[in-house]
Structure formats: structure tokens, C-alpha cells
Amino acid sequence: MMTTRQPSNPNHGHRQLAFILDIDGCLSVEGLPIAGSKEALHKLKSLHIPFVVCTNGGGQLESTRAAKLSKTFDMEISPDQVILSHTPLRSEVVPRLKDHRVLIVGEHCGEVARAYGLTKAEEIREYGRR
């Protein structure tokens, strides 16, 4: 008796693969892609392998950084795929401190904190001028 073997699903029986990739110094340097990084991201996308990009930098919204990365890598990178140093604040800190006075240290981080919903966020420079 002959049987025909069906093509196997590469993810069948295996956990789905995903990547967390560092931006600065790994995917790009000073806003320019490192050799091979653009092609690697495009390959991940074409294979429908989920990925997020992260950095210890901040001072801008995830949507702003996603737009810059989309341009750098010639592909759509959504804000949900971008994790900045302050991203965890949105879910962990903002709900508890949204109406409290919060001192913010970092370039442009006051704007980010207020955009996240910290209504009384004050940058250290603002505080120092009072």
C-alpha cells in the first residue's frame, strides 16, 4: 500500500518562534542599518515570524520610534513592536500614579510621561526653575 506524505507544517509540534531584537548597536548604528539587518527583518516578516525591537533609549513615543525604524528598514514596524526604556511605565506605573505629581528625569521624557497619562508629570528642569 502506498501513502502520500503531506507537506509538514514547520511549526507543527513546535512552539512558535519569535524574536526580541536590540535596536541600537545591533540592528542599526546612528540610525543606519547594520549590514544584513534590513534583510533579516524582511525575512522574518516574509516568514510571518513575530518580532519586537527594543532599546534602553527613550525620550520619544513608541509611535515616533516606529516611524523612524519603518523608514530605516523600508518596512512597516508598528508602535506595538517597539519597546523603549520607559514602555513598561504605561502598564505598571501610570495606572497607579496618573494623578500624582511625578518628577521626570531625562531628555524629552516629561512629554512622553504626559502622553502616557501622567497628568502631573514635571521634568527636572521645570522643577528646578520653580
Q: What is the pLDDT, as a whole number, of residue 36?
A: 96
Mean pLDDT of the chain: 89
What's the confidence (pLDDT) of residue 127?
86
CA 91 to chain centre: 14
Amino acid 7: pLDDT: 46
Which conformational region is residue 30 in: left (phi greater than 0), alpha (psi within -120 to 50 degrees), or beta?
left
The residues of the chain scoring below 70 in pLDDT are 1-15
Give pLDDT, residue 46: 96
Give me the pLDDT at residue 106, please.
Answer: 86
Alpha helices in 12-54 (DSSP H): 37-46
pLDDT tens-digit series, residues 10-27: 555 456 899 999 999 999
